[in-house]
Amino acid sequence: MSGVAIDRAACEALDAADPLRGLRALYELAPGLVYLDGNSLGPLPRTTVACVERGMREAWGRELIRSWNTAGWIDLPQRIGDAIAPLIGAGPGEVVAADSTSVNLFKVLSAAIAMRPKRSTILSENGNFPTDLYIAQGLIAQTGGTRTLRLVERTGLLDAIDADTAVVMLTQVDYRSGSRLDLAEVTARAHALGALVVWDLAHSAGAFEVALNEARADFAVGCGYKYLNGGPGAPAFVFVARRHQHDFVQPLSGWMGHAAPFDFDPAYRPADGISRALVGTPPILSMLALECGVAAMRAAAPLGGMAAIRRKSLALSDLFIELVERRCAGFGLRLVTPRAHAARASQASFAIADGATGYAVIQALIARAVIGDFRAPDVLRFGFAPSYLRFVDIWDAVERLREVLVTRAWDRPEFRTRLAVT
Ligand SMILES: *Cc1c(COP(=O)(O)O)cnc(C)c1O
């Protein structure tokens, strides 16, 4: 794309040649809307409404409790886990859908520190997503302070792993900048020093190829409502490498993780395999929606799969960055996402000198049907989900951003008022 200035017609030509162009029809998206926030809440797949309605009217409404068996409700966590597995380089029986990312993190982090009893440090980074740090802090309080959370800068991570590191707990993609860690490199370094690694794949799963088993990853968690399009508050997922499953002991020992829940045995005995990561009764309606979301994501498989998703993601984000830098120059936007493809996930973030203005710019953009989001203190964040975004959407988004900046359309009280959710 270098050299010749691209225009809207050139974007239309890119769309016409895009092998993934048919996937957009799988989603409900209002005409004219440019949705650059699929990294926060994926859109509604068209199949989801019918699927959840069937789950309500037929399975719940008519079959009632029989549906646990007849509609296969009881196996949904494992079934959806197996559908997610190929997206993250895991094998069958290594992933289940359950609970929230935060809760799953508590489970795997607890299990992981118990597997390294002589080491006291959980190592993470300052900029990790807050819930991850809060969960680690809560867990440490549970251990009576025998463990410590050590936070370092992202750039110093590899050097900070040492003989006292029990677990390295990291989010692969920085939610603000969109910078991406090399999962295999960090995992190998941690293993070489005897530590385990817990990966949070919230902004990875469904966004690009993840190769957990190739990297010999230990544990991972991830989100169902971002790139997996499972709907607001969708169940999350948890991965435990097969080689660790026998030693995987997590503290939320609920009956759905029991070897035989319907024996009603008073003593807890964990199920074999990944099922021991389960806790209580799964939220079936949300599970059905997540199953549709994952199926929509997997519709890319015959078109080149996650490799094709990744290629288009980089092309979209390259185009966005190039156009913002060309069309919106002079307004103090500074790219904070790495330019190097290997270090970049599927978003582009720009810092702005004045955070309050940044918030208002995003609100003014939303009023023009371009949805991105704002991350305090000063980041304008735009996510690219290749399944439904077109190159013309990128063009239109940047033109509307330019208009907001040039006309100062953001400078109005209604755009400056902070809403509860940014
Ligand atoms: C979105 C996100 C979460 C979300 O956790 P919930 O338990 O679903 O609220 C966790 N970690 C990271 C890194 C995230 O980006």
Largest pairwise CA distance in the chain: 71
Is 60 exceeded by the pLDDT of residue 51? yes
Residue 130 CA to ligand 1 center (angstroms) comes to 9
Angstrom distance (rounded) from CA 418 to CA 279: 37
Same topology, domains 8-31+304-416 and 49-298? Answer is no
For the stretch 71-77, contacts whose Cβ atoms lie closer than 8 Å and that sit 24 or more positions apart, written own/partner, are: 73/282, 73/284, 73/287, 76/282, 76/284, 76/287, 76/288, 76/291, 77/235, 77/256, 77/275, 77/278, 77/282, 77/287
Of all protein residues, the one whose alpha carbon is nearest to atom 4 of ligand 1 is: 101
In ligand 1, which atom is closest to the CA atom of 171? Answer: 13
Is 60 exceeded by the pLDDT of residue 24? yes
Angstrom distance (rounded) from CA 81 to CA 210: 15
Write down how long the chain is.
422
pLDDT digits (tens, 9 = 90+) for 356-368: 899 999 999 999 9
pLDDT digits (tens, 9 = 90+) for 143-157: 988 999 999 999 999
Cβ(128) to ligand 1 under 6 A? no
> CATH says 8-31+304-416 is which class?
alpha beta
Per-residue pLDDT, 2 = 52
What is the pLDDT confidence band of residue 5, given thresholds at 50, 70 and 90?
A: confident
Supply 17's token pair. 């040649």
Phi, psi torsion values for 284, nearest 5 degrees: -60, -45
Q: What is the mean pLDDT of residues 245-266?
A: 97
Task: Give percent of the chain with pLDDT exceeding 70.
Answer: 99
Q: What is the mean pLDDT of residues 301-305?
A: 97
Q: Cβ(134)–Cβ(123) under 8 Å?
A: no
Burial 253-286 (b: 16+ CB within 10 A, else e): eebbbbeebeeeeeeeebbebbbbbbbeebbbbb
Q: What is the mean pLDDT of residues 198-221?
A: 98
Q: What is the mean pLDDT of residues 204-224?
A: 98
Q: Which residue has the tokens 């975004």?
A: 389
Q: CB burial class (10 A; 0-12, 13-18, 19+) of residue 196?
A: buried
Residue 169 CA to ligand 1 center (angstroms) comes to 14
Q: What is the mean pLDDT of residues 40-59?
A: 98
What is the pLDDT confidence band of residue 3, given thresholds at 50, 70 and 90?
A: low
| Angle in degrees, CA 310, 347, 378, rounded to 5 | 170
Q: What is the mean pLDDT of residues 33-53?
A: 97
Q: Can you give the pTM of this predicted structure?
A: 0.97
What is the pLDDT confidence band of residue 421, given thresholds at 50, 70 and 90?
A: confident
Per-residue pLDDT, 98 = 98
Q: Which residue has the tokens 């440019």?
A: 34
Of all protein residues, the one whose alpha carbon is nearest to atom 1 of ligand 1 is: 202
> CATH says 49-298 is which class?
alpha beta
Is 60 exceeded by the pLDDT of residue 121? yes
Q: What is the mean pLDDT of residues 77-99?
A: 98
Sheet bearing 373-375, strands edge to edge: 334-335, 347-351, 379-383, 373-375
Phi, psi torsion values for 180, nearest 5 degrees: -120, 130
Q: What is the mean pLDDT of residues 9-25?
A: 98
pLDDT digits (tens, 9 = 90+) for 384-395: 999 999 999 999
Average pLDDT, the chain: 97
Pairing of strands 196-200, 219-222: parallel
Read off the amino acid at residue 385: A
The residues carrying an active-site annotation are 129, 200, 225-226, 381
Residue 223 CA to ligand 1 center (angstroms) comes to 6
Q: Where are the chain's structural domains?
A: 8-31+304-416, 49-298
In ligand 1, which atom is closest to the CA atom of 200? Answer: 13
Per-residue pLDDT, 1 = 47
